[in-house]
Amino acid sequence: MFSDLLIKRLKKAKTVAVLTGAGISAESGVPTFRGEQGLWKKFRPEQLANFNAFIENPKLVWEWYNFRKNLIRQVKPNPGHYALVKIENLFTDFCLITQNVDNLHRLAGSRRIYELHGNIMRNRCVDCNKQFDEILFDDENLPRCDCGGLIRPDVVWYGESLPDDVLTKSFAAADKSDVFFSIGTSAVVQPAASLPVEAKRAGAYVVEINFEPTVITNYVDESIIGKSGKILPELMKRILND
Ligand code: BJW
Ligand code: ZN
């Protein structure tokens, strides 16, 4: 399943960077974005995850986020998340870059996490940017800040900039990585999708783990087709036993 070259590169590696996407949480029961299961009430994520949609219909967008928040509160990290915690402990310089907003890497125990698209459990005011943790509201009364502004989930929507510091650190990590993993992401959403490309350009051995081929499969050094919850624990064992 794993090439000898991958194991050799990992044995020698000092710096390892991992990019994860919705696929790593799929085995915990969190739906991915693209494909049939990404649909919620027949809306595509692009129709909901953008600022204009929120301003036009905040109730609808909040309904989607509340639905997802409730689901996420009920799920647990899976063997893929836990294997990444163990892999983190094997390398001097490791970072986990995630596009996910579901907090499952933190719950599993990963330490150096760069959240590119925010966190669904945080909120902020659209006008003054004040941060709010847990907010309680019913469907009729949308949450508002003391300044009167609407409160929104603190996530990154289409057309919005990613957090500057997180993005800079993520590209720096891709640049210096000896081995770079792209796991459970369709690799179509920019700028996250440029990270494996940047890592390869800078000389890393780039490995993709995905349930099916993606747009970067032919570009990476090694593509492993399968579920991350199965592949990652096996990879961890192989690194330890080899
Ligand atoms: C498994 C599995 C198992 C399943 N095991 N695998 C340059 C070129 C073209 C476009 C752009 C560009 N620069 C910017 C853009 C526009 C846009 C973009 O990229 N659009 C493309 C879609 C065309 N990007 C942006 O707008 C970004 N902003 C930005 O760049 O600002 C500057 C700028 C603005 C405007 C113009 C130019 C510059 C922001 C992107 C924010 C994305 N936000 C979302 C929502 C976050 C909040 C929330 O969760 O509600 O982030 S959209 C959604 O997609 C979410 C995800 O993090 C993201 C990526 O999805 P992901 O994780 O890859 O999930 P899926 O579902 O696509 O794939 C799952 C994969 O798992 C599949 O491959 C399965 O096979 C696999 N799988 N089970 C292993 N068990
Ligand atoms: Zn405010």
**Phi and psi based region of residue 172 (left: phi greater than 0; alpha: psi -120 to 50; beta: remaining):** alpha
> For the chain, which residues make up each domain, given as ranges?
4-29+77-117+162-241, 38-74+126-155
Residue 239, φ and ψ in degrees, nearest 5: -65, -40
What's the confidence (pLDDT) of residue 35? 78
pLDDT category of residue 138 using cuts at 50, 70 and 90 = confident
Burial classification of residue 121, based on how many CB atoms lie within 10 Å of its CB (0-12 exposed, 13-18 middle, 19 or more buried): middle
The Å distance, Cα 222 to ligand 1 centre, comes to: 22
User: Which of 231, 219, 206 lies closest to 13 in space, CA to CA?
Assistant: 206
Question: C-alpha 16: how far from its chain's center?
Answer: 16
Nearest CA to ligand 1 atom 22: 189
Structure tokens at 31: 């739906």
Ligand nearest to the CA of 210: 1
CATH topology for the 4-29+77-117+162-241 domain: Rossmann fold (3.40.50)
> Rounded CA gap, 5 and 15, in Å?
16
- Cβ(182)–Cβ(206) below 8 Å: yes
The Å distance, Cα 151 to ligand 2 centre, comes to: 8
Neighbours of ion ligand 2 (CB under 5 A): 125, 127-128, 130, 145, 147, 149
Question: Is residue 81 among the annotated active site residues?
Answer: no
Which of 1, 104, 158, 167 has most ligand 1 atoms within 8 Å of its beta carbon, as the pocket-test mutant? 158
Tell me the pLDDT tens digit for each residue of 76-108: 999 999 999 999 999 999 999 999 999 999 999
The Å distance, Cα 118 to ligand 2 centre, comes to: 19
Instruction: Determine if ligand 1 sits within 6 Å of the CB of residue 216.
Output: no
Instruction: Determine if ligand 1 sits within 6 Å of the CB of residue 45.
Output: yes
pLDDT category of residue 9 using cuts at 50, 70 and 90 = very high
Is the torsion defined by CA of 39, 29, 55, 140 positive or negative?
positive
Nearest CA to ligand 1 atom 38: 159
Instruction: Determine if ligand 1 sits within 6 Å of the CB of residue 188.
Output: yes
**pLDDT above 80 for 38:** no
Sheet holding 131-132, edge to edge: 131-132, 118-125, 151-155
> Rounded CA gap, 200 and 205, in Å?
7
pTM: predicted TM-score of the whole model, two decimal places: 0.97
- Cβ(143)–Cβ(194) below 8 Å: no
What's the confidence (pLDDT) of residue 97? 99
Identify the active-site residue in 9, 117, 200, 227. 117
- For 38-74+126-155, the fitting CATH number among 3.40.50.300, 3.30.1600.10, 3.40.640.10, 3.50.50.60 is 3.30.1600.10
- Cβ(105)–Cβ(72) below 8 Å: no
**pLDDT above 90 for 241:** no
pLDDT category of residue 36 using cuts at 50, 70 and 90 = confident
